[in-house]
Amino acid sequence: MDNAIIIGAGPAGLTAAVTCAEKGLDVVVIDEYMRAGGRLLGQLYEEPNGNWWNGIKESNKLYEKAVDLGVNFHLNTAVNNIENSNGIWTIYTERETFHTPSLLLATGAAEAPVPVPGWTLPGVMSVGAAQVMTNVHRVKPGERGVIIGVNVLSAAIAMELQLAGVEVASLTLPKTNQVTQDAGKPKEVLDSLLHVSHMAPSPFVRYGSKLMKNDFMKKLGVNFFPKKGVKMWDIPIQLRKAVTKIYGEDEVEGVTLATINADGEVVSGSEEHIPVDFVCIAGGLYPLAELAAVAGCPFYLVEELGGYVPLHNERMESPLEGLYVAGNITGIEGAKVAAAQGRTAGLSMAHHAGMDDLDGEIKNSIKRTEQTRDNAHIQFHPEIETGRKKILQQWDAYQSNKERSVVSNSRGGIT
């Protein structure tokens, strides 16, 4: 039996592990990837103060700190199922079975695709896959590619590819349909970019947010989407184009690019062939919460948080005894916010293990999470704070419902 088990070795899980271990708990961390760090590993961007945020270095720092504190890592180990019986969680992996009274799910996020005809061809990959290949494995995803889907994440990764000497021929839109919806409409995409422009990642930050609003965004907006697009970091951003097809015999050979109107409709006859050897699909991230679902945790759809999130409170507790959540499983935000949530979760788990006098520390940690959110340079949804409030309101409603049903049960004499 371990005092605490953490599934997911990303920024949230690692920070929680360090926090629990500092409080004297025996901690096990399980992750199916070969290295600790999660999505943090791939991150590489320049902060406004000129320092580079190097995900590999940050991951190693956290990992080494955890190892020094005696945290037991089981990497390359996939979890299949979790179950609770009499207050003890059982974690089934492909190798061993673990038991703990205190379990943290820090499983992060998965990528939501935008489908394009031909997207099963080898050479088509998610934009996150290209990021990991380039920055973590140091292998080029290809010599020249296009990225389909314009959002904060894809803009940041386009810049990272360029930095590594990989040519990005175009950062452009998918064709609008029932799946891609607004992601294929130039007007909507431009609006979503304007919303986050004041705190967007490096390629924007580099120019200063003021300059960007006045120059870059004006170029995009006032000139009403020049057909050739505008260049950012030498990467053409083409909001008036959409990929209608990825072609190739056995692997990617190119894409068909068409002009679209402001509503995303294809201008017929405008199609041209762009030869490329890889394509990135960028539909954004959504919380990966399968294990919380298997455990029976209630879920809510909160668009601002990126999708369905398991119910939780500010202390990172789920409604299930001994089950905690932290990081992107609770909503899509940057690594620094995830780490701050991980610290709160770790403190809550130490409290659960019987450690007293942690209330002050937990309160401070919650406050620090909010501050981190306020200062974040990467914001995936403009209304993130609204999303956070929504889930807390759901928590309150759930708790008062539960109390009411307990009261009515006792009155009615139902056991």
Partner 1 sequence: MKEDEMIICRCEEVSYEELKTTAAKYKCSARELKLRTRAGMGYCGGRSCRTMVDKIAATSANDRNRTCVSLKYQPPIRPISFKNLGG
Partner 2 sequence: MTRRILDHPILGKMEDNNYVSFTFNQKGYKGLENESLAAALLANGIRTLRHHEESGSPRGIYCNIGHCYECRVSVDGQQGIRACLTPVKEGMTVESDGQLPSSKRR
Which is nearest to 4 in space by CA: 22, 32, 29, 31? Answer: 29
116 vs 220, beta carbon nearer partner 1 = 116
The site partner of 221 among partner 2, partner 1, none (C-beta below 5 to 8 Å per kind) is none
Residue 43 Cβ vs partner 2, minimum distance, rounded to whole Å:
12
18 vs 130, beta carbon nearer partner 1 = 130
Stretch of residues binding partner 1 (CB under 8 A), selected from 160-168, 268-276, 300-308, 339-347: 300-308
What kind and span of H or E run contains 66? helix 55-68
Structure tokens at 21: 């271990």
Residue 407 found at the interface with partner 1 (CB under 8 A)? no
Site string for partner 1, 343-382 (x = CB under 8 A): ----------------------------------------
Give SS3 for 328. helix
Structure tokens at 151: 């959002």
CA distance linking residue 229 with residue 168, whole number of Å: 14
CA distance linking residue 298 with residue 342, whole number of Å: 21
Total length of the chain: 415
Residue 382 found at the interface with partner 2 (CB under 8 A)? no
Residue 252 Cβ vs partner 2, minimum distance, rounded to whole Å:
8
Residue 120 found at the interface with partner 1 (CB under 8 A)? yes
Q: Restricting to residues 49-108, which ones interact with partner 2 according to CB under 8 A?
A: 52, 54, 56, 76, 78
CA distance linking residue 381 with residue 373, whole number of Å: 12
Give SS3 for 147. strand
Which is nearest to 296 in space by CA: 314, 326, 318? Answer: 318
Residue 205 found at the interface with partner 2 (CB under 8 A)? no
Residue 163 found at the interface with partner 1 (CB under 8 A)? no
Residue 154 found at the interface with partner 2 (CB under 8 A)? no
- Please select the residue that binds partner 2; options are 25, 62, 103, 124, rule is CB under 8 A: 124
Compute how many other C-beta atoms are within 10 angstroms of the C-beta atom of residue 80: 11
Residue 177 found at the interface with partner 1 (CB under 8 A)? yes
Helices (H), 309-414: 335-352, 359-374, 384-412
CA distance linking residue 54 with residue 375, whole number of Å: 18
Residue 188 found at the interface with partner 1 (CB under 8 A)? no
19 φ, ψ to 5°? -65, -50
Residue 353 contacts residue 339 (beta carbons within 8 Å): no
- Please select the residue that binds partner 2; options are 4, 116, 133, 189, rule is CB under 8 A: 133
Interacting residues toward partner 2 by CB under 8 A: 32-34, 39, 44, 52, 54, 56, 76, 78, 110-111, 120-126, 128-130, 132-135, 137-141, 163-165, 250-252, 288
Using CB under 8 A as the criterion, which residues of the chain lie in contact with partner 1 when the complex forms?
32, 78-81, 92, 94, 110, 112-113, 115-120, 175, 177-179, 181, 244-245, 283, 286, 288-291, 293-294, 296, 298-302, 307-308, 394
